[in-house]
Every structure is written in structure tokens, then in C-alpha cells.
A and B are shown apart, each in its own frame.
Chain A
Amino acid sequence: MYISHLWEWQCLCCCINLVPLSPPSLPPSLPPSGIIAKELSSLEQEIQELRASGTTLSSEPEFEMADIMYFCRRGMESIVDDEVTKRFSAQELESWNLLTRSNYNARHISLRLSVLWGLGLFIRYGFLLPLRVTLAASGIGLLVVLTTIVGFLPSGWTYLSEKIHLMSYRICVRSLTAIITYHNSENKPKNGGICVANHTTPIDVIILANDGCYSMVGQIHGGLIGVVQRAMVKSSPHIWFERSEVKDRHLVAKRLSNHVADKTKHPILIFPEGTCINNTSVMMFKKGSFEIGCTVYPVAIKYDPRFGDAFWNSSKFGMVNYLLRMMSSWAVVCSVWYLPPMSREEGEDAVQFANRVKAAIATQGGLVDLLWDGGLKRGKVKNTFKEEQQKLYSKVLVGDQEDQGEDRPQEAEEEEGDQNEDRPLEDYTPRPLEDYTLRLLEHCSLRLQGEEEERGSETPMRVGVPLLPGY
């Protein structure tokens, strides 16, 4: 096993003349912001600019025909590239890593590069791929056989079962040539807790399970995966749900809490985003796992995209195709940071706790912390956001209403919990942008989660709040 590993290292080193292969120990800087240059000026600034070049001389802002251009351009920009949708496709690299799949600007640069690419292709497909497939097959085979055998032994043999699991995962990790650096192992998840991590690919499971024993949660499948699942559960308590049970939230929560209450069982591994995101950002965490009320061990996983893109775009590739791609990339290089355990504090509800954990993971991994829901991969957004835009624009146009003493129709804000009747005027003095933006984002995240009617403590939205960054 070590010999094969060494061989692969030799090949990688002589073929790729990239920077040192050791993964970075500090979180990497944020990735470039997209394929188009977005102006970061706000709506107010842009409208002022339009005014300055426009024909009106009066100091009071008025409607200009050109104002529509601002909205038009923003709309077109979002059609070409937007913050959320692009998280569901692979991250682009600044320099080419000799994999055709990451190359958008394929131009013939030089003969040398093409030769190098050809050589890389031969090595990857002719040598590395067969080796890896063999390893993977043996790893999975061993897992199934050995766990079934251990299942027949009396239940005192948990030590053996752990060893078997660890060994099989290590073989699988080798089969992907995953070079993993674990940081802060003193914070490794302990029994009776829940481990949460950001989700990029199904391989995340193998990466984490390589270093410790976890109980997996998931739906039971048919086919090969089902066989593996059933074998695994014979020797160690994983939580597999039938398809019908998945819909029943209470049942799920109950099983999870029962598992957690038993201190001899391994920590549960959960990915609260619910879907695979492309490893440049962390999307909204679903609150279900944070309601159980036990210690949460956050883990941040960051893949180095130079060696192969680990993101699983489930709409583009099936699982087998994805695994083949993974095995024919150079390697899977990643860093795993174990963060200190967190628990829900007094007066904090599940959503706030989830956001706190998410922010910690995003900071550690150098990912963008987004408040949008991963479910937007397949769904839509709500109508109230349009009204926020309109509010802002009208504020610019018609001026500060307090000065004119009119009572604005903004009291038609029934949707945001009518607690803002008798605000004194000083509440409307401008506050730092971050403050507003944070509150708006918080407000938006509350809205995005759907079934929140029972929540009575929703913070009311204030008038004249600037919008999401980028507008």
C-alpha cells in the first residue's frame, strides 16, 4: 500500500512543475469573484452619478429616464453570472492544471505544454486510473466482507469493527490519492456529539472517516450502495432511513437524539447544507441537526482545486462518471480543520446557532459565507426582495420622508411583524452599512427558510435599509 502510494508521488512530482505539494496550512484567500466585473457601488451612488451627468439642475433628485439603465444592467449581470447559481458549478482556476476539464480558454499556447499535457493524459489514464480502480474495488470488497464477518461476532468486539472501518477507508483514500492534512486533531469529534461539515462531494465522507469513526446518516439505497450500507450497519450503528421515513421529521429527530444519548456510539456525521456546493462558499445550514441539543463539532473541509476539482455537479455527472473523473485527476488534496466544539447558548434558537456554526466553518476554510439556501439549486426565491429594491430606489428619488412629514405607505409592511409603530425619529439616523446589511441578511435568511410562522421573535425590518451587497 505504501509502495503504491510512493510510486504515485514520484510520478506526480516529475510531471507537475507546480508549487510544493504540501497543502496550505493557512486557509487560502477567497477565490476570484466571477466571470464579469461587478461594480460594487450601491444603488444610491449610481443614481447620483446619473444625476450628475444628467440634465436636471435642481438639487432635489427627480426621476430620470436613464435610471432604468441601472436596473437593466444589474439584471443582465445577474443573467450572465450570479452569486448563488455559480456555486452549483465547478470553480474556475486562474492557471491551468493540465486537465482539459478545467480549461476554458483552450488555445494552443506552446508545443511543450501540449506535450506535457499528452504525457499527463497517458499517465493519468494508463497508469493511475487502473491502479486506483483496483484499490477502490479491493477497499470496498474488504469493507463488505469483513464487516459482515464481524457482525456475526458478539457485540463486545467494537474495537475490531473500528479497525476494519478505518482500514477500509484508508484503502479507499489511497485509491483516490487523497492527500489530506488534518489540523487541530485535539478537537476531533467525540462520542455523543454531532459532527457537521461543509459538503462538496460524497468523498467528504471518506475523508472524514479516514481519521475517526463516525455514524453515517442517510437514506438506504438499492444496488451496490445498499449492499455496502447493510454490511456496515452489521458491525457498527449507522442510521439508515427507509425512503418513507425520511419525510417524517420527528422520527428522524428522535432516532438522532437516541443515538446521541448513547455515549458508546460514535458521533453522527451530518452535512447540513443538504446538497453539494462547489467549495468556494458555504450555504445555509438546515436547522434540523441543530435542534437536537447536543454538542456540535464543526469541521471545515477545503479542497485544493489545482490538483483536480472535487465538486460533484449532480446535474452534470452521475456518480460513476464522477468517481472516474476523480480517479483520473492528479490527486485530491485537501485540508481538514477540526474546530472547537460548540453548543447552543441561552436564548439562541436553532437558526442562530446554525448560522454561528456556519460562520465559524466559513472563516476557517476561507470560504464565502452565504445566506442563500442550497435548495435554490432547484427552487425559486420569494417576492419580498423586489419590494426592498423598490423601497431603496424610492428613498433616493423622493427623499427622506421624515423631512417632508408625509406618512409613507410603508406601514403596509404587514409581512414583517408589526412591531415598529412608535419608533422615535432618531432611530432613522443612518448607521454603518455593515450593521444594516447584517440585519437585512439575517432577516432574509429567516424568510428563506419557509415554515417559520411559529417564530414570534422575528426582528422587524427597518425602513431605508441598503440592500444585499452588490446592489
Chain B
Amino acid sequence: MGSTNSTLSRIPNVEELMQETGFTPAHIVRLYDRFEALDKEKTGHLRPQDFGAINRLAMNPIGDRIIGSFFSTGQETVDFHSFVRILAHFRPADKNRPKDPSMPQPVNSRTSKLKFAFQLYDQDKDGKISRAELLQVLRSMLEMQVTEEQLESIADRTIQEADLDKDDAISFEEFRKSLEKVNIDHKMSIRFLR
């Protein structure tokens, strides 16, 4: 309830957040309302169970991984800032941004989106997608629909195609290369209507 200004003033460091993520004030307010709606106990933090209440997410085969991506290692709760920062990955890329390699990549650039997708695979964060990690993802996406042998053969085939330095794992560069023709911005962006 209340105008944008009053909601914005309740969020600490909101200027910095907008600067960092590129969201407009209206978006931030919307996300804040959403955050509050999910935070049923009004603790100011979200826990994995709060995400579990979203039924579309519970239906998603990699729902747990997506929820996990909000929580950095060792953390059990996520506050509003981290929530927005993660969602900022999914903002459509700014087309008019000058390509300045010396400046750090904004959080919604193609590279950042790729990194995000990479991390969904690479759960132990060692910088490589091992065969076992790939199998885990395949298992969650396919579960009982295919046999274990089929899963393994799919994993083998994928690694064979993507792995260029033959270390039986896929590094970030190899990942990026295998996805160079995919329109990442389209696939990994959420467009706010207003």
C-alpha cells in the first residue's frame, strides 16, 4: 500500500541497487512487493521454503537448482538486495551500451547470463562441468523417463562435442563456445511490462 516513494524509502541503499542492477524505481517496487508477498513471516529474508510456495517453480524440474542459485554458499537466507541482484541477470540487455572492455560487465550482459547458466550446472563451483554434474542435471530434467544408460550416453555425447581440451569436463570457455549461436539475450531475459 502506498506510493512508490514511500515503498522506495523503506528499502535501504536503493539508489545503489538501482545503479548496480539497472532496474527502474517501478521495477524495484514491484519486486519489493513480490518479495514481501513471498516472505510470509515478514522476517525480511527469504528461505528456500518460501520459494517452494510458488507452485510453478515446484513443478519445474530444475526448480531446486534455481532456488539454490539465490543463496550463496553457506547462506541460508536471502535478503532483498541479493534477490534483486540475481533477478537482474534476467533483465534484457541494454542495446545501446558502449562496448568498453575496461569497464566491468553489467550484470545482464551476455557473458553474465552465460555465467549464470553455467553455475546452474556447476554446483560445486570449481569452474568446470564434470560428467557427474552433467548427469545430475540430466537426471533432474528427465528423471524416470529414460534409462540410466540413455542418460549416460547423452552425457558422453555432450561432453564429446563440447570438450575441446579433452579433460573430460566442460570449462566456461568451452560452454560459451558451444552456445555461441544461441540467442542468449532472448532466452534468458524477462521483460517487465511497465
* Alpha-carbon separation in the docked complex, A252 to B61 (Å): 41
* Alpha-carbon separation in the docked complex, A111 to B145 (Å): 62
For A75, give its contact among B29, B62, B175 (CB under 8 Å).
Answer: B62
Contact status A62-B61, CB under 8 Å: no
* Alpha-carbon separation in the docked complex, A63 to B87 (Å): 26
From B12-20, B100-108, B150-158, the one touching the partner chain is: B150-158
Contact status A79-B87, CB under 8 Å: yes
B141 within 8 A of A: yes
- Give min CB distance, A385 to chain B, whole Å: 4
29 A-B pairs within 8 Å (CB atoms) are namely A37-B190, A50-B182, A54-B179, A65-B175, A65-B178, A68-B137, A68-B141, A71-B141, A72-B116, A75-B60, A75-B62, A75-B66, A79-B51, A80-B31, A82-B54, A82-B55, A88-B37, A104-B30, A105-B4, A105-B26, A380-B52, A381-B55, A385-B55, A385-B59, A386-B59, A395-B145, A409-B144, A409-B145, A412-B144
- Residues of B near any A CB (own CB < 8 A): 1-5, 26, 29-31, 33-34, 37-38, 40, 51-63, 66, 87, 90, 116-117, 120-121, 137-138, 141-147, 150, 154, 157-158, 161-162, 170, 175, 178-179, 181-184, 187-194
Of residues A64, A69, A381, A408, which shows the largest number of chain B Cβ atoms within 10 Å of its Cβ?
Answer: A69
**Supplied contacts A36-B192, A386-B63, A410-B144, 17 more A-B pairs, CB within 8 Å:** A53-B181, A63-B154, A64-B158, A65-B170, A67-B141, A69-B184, A71-B60, A78-B60, A79-B34, A84-B55, A100-B3, A101-B1, A107-B4, A380-B53, A389-B59, A408-B145, A410-B145
* Alpha-carbon separation in the docked complex, A230 to B48 (Å): 45
Contact status B58-A380, CB under 8 Å: yes
- Residues of A near any B CB (own CB < 8 A): 32, 34-37, 46, 50, 53-56, 62-85, 88-89, 100-101, 103-107, 315-317, 372, 376, 380-381, 383, 385-391, 393-395, 397-398, 408-410, 412, 470
CB neighbours (8 Å) of A32 from chain B are 193
* Alpha-carbon separation in the docked complex, A470 to B55 (Å): 13
* Alpha-carbon separation in the docked complex, A68 to B188 (Å): 10
Contact status B37-A89, CB under 8 Å: yes
